[in-house]
C-alpha cells in the first residue's frame, strides 16, 4: 500500500493505488465495531464517506481514519404515540419528531391562534422526555405579527429572548412562549395536553 500512517493514527495516500479492506482496517487498528471512513478532495470540495468492500481504490490526498458506525436514533415509542395522539386530537398537520441537539422537535403546521390566524408552531422536547417536561413552545413570528395586529394580548410570547434554559431561535423566526410546564407528571401529562394548554392561555389573552 502506498499509504503513509500519520503520527496521529490516520492514513494518507501520496499516489494512486488499491488496498484490500482487511489490510486497510489492520493498518488503522480498527476494532470489529469500527467503521473506516475516507476523506477525499475532488474538484476542490472535500467529502467524507464510509469505506466498505474487499477492495479499496484511492487517489493522492485521500485520508482514511476509523470512527464509530453511524447509528441513527429513532424517537422513543412513547413519543411516537403522543405524536399520533396530536394528529388524532385535531392537530393533524404535524411533522414527525425530528432529533436535534436538545432532544426532539415537533413542528405543527396551521396552528390556530385567536382571530382564526394560522401559523407554524414548534414544540422542543428534552432527550429524556417524558421523564422531564418539554423545553419550550414556539410560534412563528408571522403568526405573532398577525395576532398583534388584532390587538390581542401576547405578553407570554417573546420574539427576541427566552428564559428557563430554552434555546433562542429568534434568528430563525421563532417567538418563545413563556410558560413553565410545572408541575409535570410523566406518563400522565402529554403533548396533546401541552398544546391545548398553550392554546387556552393564548385564547385568554384574546379576552383581555
**What would the grid cell of residue 125 be?**
422536547
pLDDT tens digit sequence for 29-88:
998 889 999 999 887 788 898 998 888 999 999 999 999 876 555 567 888 889 989 888
How far is the CA of 15 from the CAs of 61, 107, 145, in angstroms? Answer: 8, 49, 60
Is pLDDT above 60 for 141? yes
What is the C-alpha separation between 59 and 77, in angstroms, rounded?
A: 45
Is pLDDT above 90 for 155? no
SS3 38: strand
**Domain termination site, one of 21, 46, 68:** 68
Give the pLDDT score at 124. 92
Same domain, 33 and 86: no
**Domain termination site, one of 68, 96, 125:** 68
The predicted model scores a pTM of 0.61
- Between 34 and 147, name the one with better pLDDT: 34
Give the pLDDT score at 75. 64
Q: What percent of the chain has pLDDT over 90?
A: 23
Q: How many domains does the chain fold into?
A: 2
What is the C-alpha separation between 119 and 181, in angstroms, rounded?
A: 22
SS3 173: coil
Strands 174-177 and 136-140 turn out to be antiparallel
Give the pLDDT score at 154. 65
**What would the grid cell of residue 172 be?**
430563525
Same domain, 31 and 110: no
Among the listed residues 51, 60, 47, 66, the one whose alpha carbon sits nearest the alpha carbon of residue 4: 60
Give the pLDDT score at 205. 60
Same domain, 63 and 81: no
Mean pLDDT value across the chain: 84
Same domain, 61 and 101: no
Give CA 63 to chain center in angstroms.
29
CB atoms near residue 32 (< 10 Å): 5
CB atoms near residue 175 (< 10 Å): 28
Is the CB of residue 106 less than 8 Å from the CB of residue 83?
Answer: yes
Is the CB of residue 69 less than 8 Å from the CB of residue 33?
Answer: yes
Is the CB of residue 97 less than 8 Å from the CB of residue 106?
Answer: yes
Give the pLDDT score at 199. 83
What is the C-alpha separation between 157 and 89, in angstroms, rounded?
A: 24
pLDDT band at 152 (very low <50, low <70, confident <90, very high): low
**Domain termination site, one of 68, 89, 107:** 68
Give CA 157 to chain center in angstroms.
23
pLDDT band at 22 (very low <50, low <70, confident <90, very high): very high
Average of pLDDT values for 91-96? 84
Is the CB of residue 179 less than 8 Å from the CB of residue 70?
Answer: no
**What would the grid cell of residue 167 be?**
434555546
Is the CB of residue 137 less than 8 Å from the CB of residue 162?
Answer: no
What is the residue range of 109's domain?
Answer: 77-207
Amino acid at each position: 500500500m502506498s499509504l503513509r500512517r500519520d503520527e496521529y493514527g490516520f492514513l494518507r495516500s501520496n499516489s494512486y493505488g488499491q488496498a484490500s479492506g482487511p489490510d486497510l482496517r489492520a493498518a488503522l487498528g480498527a476494532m470489529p465495531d469500527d467503521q473506516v471512513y475516507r476523506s477525499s478532495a475532488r474538484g476542490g470540495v472535500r467529502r467524507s464517506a464510509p469505506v466498505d468492500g474487499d477492495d479499496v481504490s484511492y487517489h493522492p490526498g485521500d485520508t482514511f481514519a476509523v470512527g464509530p458506525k453511524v447509528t441513527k436514533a429513532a424517537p422513543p415509542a412513547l413519543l411516537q404515540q403522543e405524536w399520533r395522539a396530536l394528529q388524532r386530537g385535531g392537530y393533524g398537520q404535524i411533522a414527525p419528531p425530528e432529533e436535534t441537539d436538545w432532544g426532539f422537535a415537533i413542528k405543527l403546521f396551521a396552528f390556530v391562534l385567536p382571530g382564526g390566524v394560522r401559523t407554524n408552531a414548534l414544540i422542543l422536547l428534552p432527550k429524556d422526555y417524558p421523564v422531564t417536561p418539554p423545553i419550550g413552545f414556539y410560534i412563528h413570528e408571522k403568526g405573532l405579527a398577525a395576532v398583534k395586529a388584532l390587538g390581542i394580548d401576547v405578553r407570554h410570547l417573546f420574539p427576541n429572548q427566552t428564559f428557563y434554559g430554552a434555546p433562542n431561535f429568534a434568528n430563525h423566526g421563532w417567538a418563545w412562549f413563556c410558560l413553565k410546564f410545572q408541575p409535570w407528571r410523566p406518563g400522565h401529562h402529554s403533548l396533546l395536553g401541552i398544546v391545548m394548554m398553550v392554546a387556552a392561555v393564548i385564547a385568554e389573552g384574546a379576552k383581555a
